[in-house]
A and B are shown apart, each in its own frame.
Chain A
C-alpha cells in the first residue's frame, strides 16, 4: 500500500522528507506552546462564549 510513496518519487524524496520535517517541527512548537499555557487562562478562554453580558468578568487576566 505504501509502495507508491517510495517508488513514484525517485530523486524527489527530499520534498517528502522536508515536508515531514517541517510538519514535525511545527507540531512540536505548537505542543510546547500548549504545555506552557496555564489552567486559569484555559478556563477563562473556554468560558468566553458563555458570558455575553456578564459585566462583572474582569477584562484583564
Chain B
C-alpha cells in the first residue's frame, strides 16, 4: 500500500490564533476598566452603555468565549489534523465556523452594552444569538467528526476524547440553559423560574467552567505538552482514568454555587460531596502533566514555553484544590459573594487558560510560519510580568475577600452587627481593588508584549498555509484483528465514544435536575406570593437590563449576620414567578431581597440619580438616564402573555387592561414623590424600577403562612 499525500490546513489555525490575541486584548482591557470602576465610579463614563452592570458581562463573555474560545479552536484545529493524519473535513465549514464565531462575538459586543441580556451569568446573550451559537457549534462538531471519519489513524488519542466530550456536553448545556420564550426580537423569558431556574443556570455555569475552560484545555495539554517536551505523556492509563472520572463527577457539582439558598438541602449536599471528589480527577490531570516533564526539568529552565506550561498547570492544581474547599459549607459561608471567588476564578483564567494559551501561541506560530520566535527575551519578560501580574491580582483579592467576608459576620459583645452599614466594608477593601487593577494591568501589558513579539515573528516568516504530509491509508476494517479489550474498541469508534461521554454526563444531570423539576414538595409554595404587577414586571426588566444582579444578590442566607442585616431569610416559594431568578453571585453592594418598603420612594429616586447623595462614598454608578427615559409600555401585552404561557396566573384577558393598572400604579408613585418635592412624569423608567424595588421581598412580610 502506498502512503497518501495530503496537506494540513494551517491558515485556519493562524486565523483562530490572531482572533485569540485580538479578543484577548479587548476582553482584558474591558476587565481592567470594570476593575477601575470599582474604586473610581467616574470610570463608568457617565453613560448607560459603559456602566459596570452592562460591561461586566462583556468582560466575562469576551474572555471566556472570545479569548479562550478562539484559543480552543486554534488548538483543536492544529492538533486534531495531526493526531488523525488528515486535513480538516471541509475548508468551507472551517471558514463558516471561524467567521460565524467572530460574528457571534461582535453580536455580544453590540448587544450587551445595549442592555440586551437574559441575566444568566455566562449565558447573557439573547435568544437570536443563542440560536446562532447552536448552529456554529454544530458546524464545529460536524467538521470535527467529518475529520475523524476520514482519518488515517485507527485509534483516537486521549486529546480527541476530551474534544468530543467538550463538543457534546457544551451542546447539552447551552441548549438546556437557553430554553427561553421570546417576547420580542431581543427579549425573552426563561421557561424555568426561581429555584429551578437557579439550579439549571448553575448546572450550566459550573459546567461551562468544566467543559469550556477545562476539558478542551486538558485535551490541548495532552497534545502540546508531549510535543513541547518531546516525550510521551507520563501515564496514558492515568489519562483514561481521569478523563472518565472528570466528566462523570464535574456535572454533579453545580449546586455548590447555591449553598444556603432555598435550593433543596439534598441537592446542595450532593453538590458538595461531588465537589470534594473532583479533587481526584483534577489532580490526576495536573500530576500527569507535571510528571511528563520528569527528567526534563533542565529544559524548563531554558524554554519559556515550558515555563508557561508549568505555571499554568500549577495554577490549575491550585484552583482545583481551592474549588472543593470553597464548596465546603463552612468556608462557603464566608467566601461566597466576596472577592475570594474573584481571586479563585482568576487563578484559573489567568494562570491555567491564559498561560496555556500563551505557551501554545509561542510554540505554534513560529512552526506554521517556518521561522524562529522573534525574541526569546521578550517572551521571557512576558512570562515574568504575567506571573507577577497574577500574584498582584489574586493576593489583594484574597485579602479583600477575607476582610469583607469576616467584617460582614462580625458582632459586638452586645450582639449587634459591628458593621451595620454595608458601605463601611466596601470602603475598607478599596485599596485592595486598586492593587488588583495594577496586577491586571501588568498581565495585560504582558499580552501586548506578546502581541508585538508574535507579530514580528509572523512578519519575518511566511505562513505555510498548506503543510505537506503523508501517511498510510487505513486498511479496511475487516482486515483488522479483533480488538483485545472493550476500551481499545471504543478508542476507534468516535460515535460510540461520544454516546458514552453523553451518557456519563447525563447521569448526574438527571439525578440532580429531575427531582427539583418534577417533585412539587421540593419547592414549597407560599399563599401570599402573588405575580408582579405590570409596572413591577417592567421595572424588573429594567433591573435586568441595567445588570443590577452583577453587584446585588437577591437571596438572604439563614445566618444571624444576614437576617439581622437584611431581614427574614429567603424561601423557595418567594421566587415561583421569577423568570429568570435574579439571586446573583456577588455582593459588591448589599443584598436586595428585602429592600421593598425599607426606604421611601424619594430615597430610591435620589439614590439612583446619584448614589453618593444618599450614601457618601458609594461606588455605585449614577443611573440618571432612568429619570429622563420614557418607559416602553407597548411591550406590556406580549410580556403578560408570555408570563401566562409560562404558568404565571394572570387572568385571561388581563393583558388588555394591564397598561391601565400600570398607569394607575405609576401615577401613585409619582404623586408620592411629589410630596417630597420631586416632580417627575409617571411614564419615566425610574417609576417602574422604584415600583419593583419597593415590591421586592414584601410578599413574605405580609404573611408567613407556608403551605406545603
B469 — which chain A residues lie within 8 A by C-beta?
Answer: 52-53
Is B328 in contact with A1, judged by CB distance below 8 angstroms? yes
* Complex interface: chain A residues within 8 A of B153 (CB): 48, 59
Min distance, Cβ A35 to any Cβ of chain B, angstroms: 9
Task: Mark out the residues of chain A between 40 and 61 whose CB falls within 8 Å of any chain B CB in the assembled complex.
Answer: 41-50, 52-53, 55, 57-61
A15-B270, A18-B511, A36-B484 given as contacts; is B152 within 8 A of A52 (CB)?
no
Whether B236 lies near A46 (C-beta < 8 A) is: yes
Interface residues in B, total, Cβ within 8 A: 63
The answer to whether B485 touches A59 (Cβ under 8 A) is: no
Write the chain B residue with the least CB distance to A22.
B507
In the complex, which of the residues B154, B269, B270 contacts A60, with contact meaning CB atoms closer than 8 Å? B154
Output the nearest chain A residue to B224 by Cβ-Cβ distance.
A49
CB-CB < 8 A to B226: which residues of A?
46, 49-50
Q: Kindly identify which residue among A12, A49, A61 contacts B157, using a CB–CB cutoff of 8 Å.
A: A49
Cβ < 8 Å to A, chain B residues 318-349: 328-330
A24 to chain B, nearest CB (A): 11
**Partner pick for B154 among A5, A22, A55, A61, CB 8 A cutoff:** A61
Interface mask (B273-300 → A, CB under 8 Å = 1, otherwise 0)? 1100100000000000000000000000
User: B472 near A38 (CB under 8 angstroms)?
Assistant: no
- Chain B: CB-nearest residue to A45: B236
Which residues in chain B, 486-539, are within 8 Å of chain A measured between CB atoms? 486-488, 491, 504, 507, 511, 515
Q: Cα distance A34–B224 when bound, in Å?
A: 24
Residues of A within 8 A of B266 (CB): 8-9, 12, 15-16
Which one, B56-64, B238-246, B627-635, B695-703, is touching chain A?
Answer: B238-246
CB distance from B175 to the nearest CB of A (A): 24
Instruction: State in angstroms the CA–CA spacing of A48 and B83 once bound together.
Output: 7
- Give the distance in Å from the alpha carbon of A61 to the alpha carbon of B482 in the complex: 10
A20 to B252, CA, bound (A): 12
Q: Known contacts A41-B488, A61-B154; is A49 also within 8 Å of B471 by CB?
A: no
Q: Would you call the interface of chain B mostly helix, strand, loop, or mixed?
A: helix
CB distance from A25 to the nearest CB of B (A): 10
Residues of B within 8 A of A53 (CB): 469-471
| A34 and B240 in contact, given A4-B272, A48-B157, A52-B469 (Cβ under 8 angstroms) | yes
B269 and A5 form a contact (CB under 8 A):
yes
Please state if B471 and A59 are interface contacts (CB–CB under 8 Å): yes
Q: Do B237 and A36 touch (CB < 8 A)?
A: no
CA distance A16 to B328 in the complex (A): 16
Determine if B3 is an interface residue (Cβ-Cβ < 8 Å): yes
List, in ascending order, chain A residues with CB within 8 A of B473's CB: 59
Instruction: State whether A36 and B232 are in contact (beta carbons under 8 Å apart), knowing that A15-B270, A26-B244, A45-B491 are contacts in the complex.
Output: no
| B582 beta carbon closer than 8 Å to chain A | no
B227 touches A49 (CB 8 A): yes
Contact (Cβ within 8 A) A8 B237: no
User: When the two chains form their complex, are residues B249 and A4 in contact, meaning their CB atoms are under 8 A apart?
Assistant: no
In the complex, besides A15-B515, A23-B248, A46-B226, 18 extra interface pairs with C-beta distance below 8 angstroms are A16-B266, A23-B277, A26-B248, A30-B240, A37-B485, A37-B487, A41-B155, A41-B488, A42-B236, A43-B232, A45-B157, A45-B491, A48-B83, A48-B157, A49-B227, A49-B233, A55-B470, A59-B472
7 example contacts (A-B, Cβ-Cβ < 8 A) are as follows: A4-B272, A16-B273, A23-B277, A33-B486, A45-B491, A52-B85, A59-B472
